[in-house]
Amino acid sequence: MIEIPRPVGLKNAYDVVVIGAGPAGSRCAKLIADRGLSVAVFEKRAEIGSPKRCAEGIGVKALQRMGYNGNERFVAQYIDGFYLYAPNGKEFVMDYGSPQGCVVERKVFDKFLAYDAAKAGAKVFTKIEVVDLLKDNGAISGVVIKYGEDVFEVKARVVVSAEGIEGKMARKAGIDNTNKLINVDSGYQYEMANLKLKDANKLYFYLGNEIAPRGYIWIFPKGDHVANVGIGIGGGAGVKRKAKEYLDSWIENHPEIFADASVIEENAGGIPVGGLLKDMVRDGFVVIGDAAHTVNPIHGGGMDEGTRAGEIAAEVICECLNREDVSHDALAKFNELWWKERGEKLRRIEKLRQVIERMSDDDLNFLADELTVQDIIDFAGGKNLRKLAKILLRRPKLIKLATILR
Amino acid sequence: MVVKNIPSICLSCGGCVGVCPHDAISLEDMKIIINESKCNGCGTCVIFCPVGAMTLEDKPTNEVER
Ligand SMILES: Cc1cc2nc3c(=O)[nH]c(=O)nc-3n(C[C@H](O)[C@H](O)[C@H](O)COP(=O)(O)OP(=O)(O)OC[C@H]3O[C@@H](n4cnc5c(N)ncnc54)[C@H](O)[C@@H]3O)c2cc1C
Ligand code: SF4
Ligand code: SF4
């Protein structure tokens, strides 16, 4: 057997080790490196960003927050609004009149974030999996990495798990981030070409328990005739078929869009649309992004949320390292800040999801008749939910649901 | 073996890893590996998998953790 040498450039110790080069991890690593600390990022895939598990939609504001102007090579299509369809076909249209979001190419976007981390001085490694945590008196003090068939120990003052849905290190650190079926959407998607879209600069959402129980179907255009066509469904009771089967039937029933379309890529994934964690830290350890379920529970967007969590974590970690206190109690500042800036809002949105997913198609149609497109935008942002509660109170069998919103 | 992965169907999305209540699954080199000594056959991963790439030899037990 050929002897595999140590990974090129690997040191024995870093201030911070980040596990996973998804958006959350790379963003966090960049901001820590910016402050002059030593950071290593370990990514187990051979290619960052691939395969994608994402419909690739993100707001322009989120990109700007990360220092991008929207002209980068990762932008596939600008989005200036959306169509949303109730089970009875009622159409909601939002036209912002200018690009508010875009559909990116994750395979390029994730690399850009990793380039930025590397440029800031973080050391990024691919095809290296973190397989265990080092502990010192109960505190996390580094990681064990697998490089080829060899394992190495790498010390770190703080370890950040940004491992996404498949993350296992948080559990090893004593944080139970197992996704309960009621809190995770089962996602499936095709990237398709030669579609007939009436407007290739808008997102499309289709609701209904028949087509996508406890979830929805989406079309996110990546070009005039190219789009991510996907489905996310609840993992619990009442779901009789696989996400793929639901999507396939729906595509078959819509020849006006798909008659001549081809599949260019196939994706699957789990979307943690709930189960926010009160405590995301341990001594020397922080968990962020999908691994900490920091996803918008109603639309499933996790790039914006994951990178924000990465930003907040970076700030707290640097502060703690400067003060030379990376204990649970010091790092708990991350819990406090994240819950204040993001968590409270996501918790409200999670309640909204709990209401929506308990509704029959008939209830959804009733609701659709009462709402304006602005209401829908507000609700999805966790705002004005009192209005929703009021509408629910008007239908006896929905009164119970109104109490969830409290 | 209680639960089985079908590599020809699996898309290596890692979702089953995240839902397994017994930490019995890992995604290594884009392949799903099941730790037979940890898996108790609860069927959670089977219900979750978007494409049907997890199968149980027997019927799921009633211990599915939702
Ligand atoms: C079908 C679907 C559609 C979606 N659509 C959208 C959308 O339109 N917009 C949006 O914003 N979000 C969307 N999301 C959610 C979004 O994809 C995630 O929220 C986002 O990728 C989370 O980023 P992350 O950095 O936390 O994790 P990930 O992007 O999952 O990155 C984690 C990385 O860590 C690596 N890793 C894991 N464990 C280890 C280890 N032990 N050692 C080394 N490396 C490891 C993985 O290989 C991976 O590269 C969608 C998700 C799905 C499944
Ligand atoms: S959930 Fe299904 S497709 Fe995804 S990794 Fe597990 S077995 Fe494969
Ligand atoms: S059957 Fe249950 S215990 Fe076994 S791998 Fe699947 S989820 Fe885990």
ipTM: 0.94
Tell me whether residue B24 is in a domain. Answer: yes
H/E element, A78: strand A75-79
The DSSP bridge pattern shows strands A216-221 and A227-234 to be antiparallel
Spell out which residues of chain B touch residue A171, defining contact as CB-CB under 8 Å: 23
Is any Cβ of chain B less than 8 angstroms from the Cβ of A335?
no
Asked whether the beta carbons of residue B50 and residue A269 sit closer than 8 angstroms, the reply is: yes
Residue A176, SS3?
A: coil
**Contact residues of ligand 2, CB 6 A cut-off:** A 268; B 5, 10-16, 32, 48-49, 51, 53-54
Chain B interface, Cβ < 8 Å to A: 11-21, 23, 26-28, 30, 44, 47-52, 64-66
Of B11, B23, B44, the CB nearest to A267: B11
Distance between CA A4 and CA A86 in Å, rounded? 57
Query: Averaged in consecutive runs of 10 residues, what is the pLDDT profile of chain A (406 residues)?
Result: 78 98 98 98 97 97 96 97 96 96 98 98 98 97 96 97 98 97 96 98 96 95 98 82 97 98 98 97 98 95 98 98 98 98 96 92 94 93 92 92 89
Residue bearing tokens 């322009």: A60
Three-class DSSP labels, chain B: CCEEECCCCCCCCCHHHHHCCCCCEEEECCEEEECCCCCCCCCHHHHHCCCCCEEECCCCCCCCCC
Q: CB–CB of A311/A31 below 8 Å? A: yes
Give the count of beta carbons closer than 10 Å to the beta carbon of residue A349.
Answer: 22
Chain B residue closest to A148 (CA)?
Answer: B29
Please give the pLDDT value at position B1.
Answer: 56
What is the interface size between A and B, counted as CB pairs within 8 Å? 92
Is any Cβ of chain B less than 8 angstroms from the Cβ of A230?
no
Asked whether the beta carbons of residue B18 and residue A268 sit closer than 8 angstroms, the reply is: no
pTM passes above 0.90: yes
Name the domain count of chain B: 1
Please give the pLDDT value at position A235.
Answer: 74
Please give the pLDDT value at position A136.
Answer: 97
Residue A323, SS3?
A: coil
Cα A82 from chain centre: 20
Please give the pLDDT value at position A4.
Answer: 64
Instruction: Identify each DSSP E strand in A198-331 by its residue range.
Output: 202-207, 216-221, 227-234, 262-272, 281-282, 285-287
- CA of B61 relative to ligand 2 center, distance in Å: 20
CATH code, domain with B13: 3.30.70.20
The neighbouring-strand residues paired with A104 are A75
pLDDT at B60 over 60: no
Of B27, B52, B65, the CB nearest to A166: B27
| Residue B49 Cβ < 6 Å to ligand 3 | no
Confidence of residue B64 (pLDDT cuts 50, 70, 90): low
Query: Closest Cα of chain A to B35: distance in Å?
Result: 13
Distance between CA A164 and CA B4 in Å, rounded? 23
| Residue B37: domain span | 2-57
Please give the pLDDT value at position A239.
Answer: 80
Distance between CA A272 and CA A284 in Å, rounded? 25
Residue A369, SS3?
A: helix
Tell me whether residue B65 is in a domain. Answer: no
Sheet containing strand A216-221, edge to edge, reads A91-95, A81-85, A202-207, A216-221, A227-234, A184-193, A262-272
Spell out which residues of chain A touch residue B65, defining contact as CB-CB under 8 Å: 180-181
The neighbouring-strand residues paired with A101 are A59, A79
Percent of chain A with pLDDT over 70: 98
Spell out which residues of chain B touch residue A45, defining contact as CB-CB under 8 Å: 30
Tell me whether residue B62 is in a domain. Answer: no
Please give the pLDDT value at position A6.
Answer: 84
The neighbouring-strand residues paired with A187 are A232, A269
What's the token pair of residue A207?
Answer: 């609701």
Sheet containing strand A57-59, edge to edge, reads A57-59, A101-104, A75-79
Is any Cβ of chain B less than 8 angstroms from the Cβ of A307?
no
Please give the pLDDT value at position B61.
Answer: 55
Q: CB–CB of A333/A323 below 8 Å? A: no
Tell me whether residue B45 is in a domain. Answer: yes
Of B12, B28, B65, the CB nearest to A180: B65
Residue A159, SS3?
A: strand
Asked whether the beta carbons of residue A235 and residue B26 sit closer than 8 angstroms, the reply is: no
Tell me whether residue B42 is in a domain. Answer: yes
Average pLDDT of the residues of chain B: 90
The DSSP bridge pattern shows strands A39-42 and A13-19 to be parallel
Distance between CA B50 and CA B53 in Å, rounded? 8
Please give the pLDDT value at position B24.
Answer: 97
Tell me whether residue B28 is in a domain. Answer: yes
**Mind listing the domains of chain A with CATH numbers?**
13-51+107-179+275-331 (3.50.50.60), 77-104+181-272 (3.30.9.10), 355-404 (no CATH)
| Residue A163 Cβ < 6 Å to ligand 1 | yes
Tell me whether residue B63 is in a domain. Answer: no
Query: Closest Cα of chain B to A129: distance in Å?
Result: 8
Chain B residue closest to A128 (CA)?
Answer: B29
